[in-house]
């Protein structure tokens, strides 16, 4: 079964293809994604890599956690499930009295 890994400390210049190729050294990679800021379009410095097997994921954690990629040390661990967020308050139509 596939295991999703959290990868932190990603350099802003690292591409998803480069991240996928780097993790392919540890085993088969299903997908790699870098989280981007919606406003600026710039990387937020973290992402997720989905490895094909648990063994490949464990190997990737052992190989890359604390090790450099593009000049920055990576933090690699098993991704936690996304926690539900509180509902957002509706936006007010009239913002100010101008």
CATH number, domain containing residue 65: 3.30.70.330
pLDDT higher than 70, residue 98: no
Q: Which residues contact 66 (CB under 8 A, 6 or more apart)?
A: 73, 74, 75
Q: How many domains does the chain have?
A: 1
User: Does a structural domain hold residue 33?
Assistant: yes
pLDDT, tens digit (0-9, with 9 covering 90-100), for 36-81: 999 999 999 999 999 999 999 999 999 999 999 999 999 999 998 8
DSSP symbols for the chain: --EEEEEE---TT--HHHHHHHHTTTS-EEEEEEEE-TTT--EEEEEEEEESSHHHHHHHHHHHTT-EETTEE-EEEEPPPPPPPPPPPPPPS--S--
Supply the range of the domain harboring residue 62: 3-78
For residue 86, being part of any structural domain is answered with no
């Amino acid at each position: 079964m596939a295991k999703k890994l959290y990868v932190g400390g990603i350099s802003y210049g690292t591409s998803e293809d480069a991240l996928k190729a780097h993790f392919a050294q540890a085993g088969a990679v299903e997908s790699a994604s870098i989280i981007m800021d919606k406003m600026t379009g710039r990387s937020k410095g973290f992402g997720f890599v989905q490895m094909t097997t648990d063994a490949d994921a464990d190997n990737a954690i052992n190989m890359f956690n604390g090790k450099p990629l593009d000049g920055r040390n990576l933090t690699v661990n098993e991704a936690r499930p996304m926690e539900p967020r509180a509902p957002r308050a509706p936006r007010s139509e009239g913002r100010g009295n101008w």
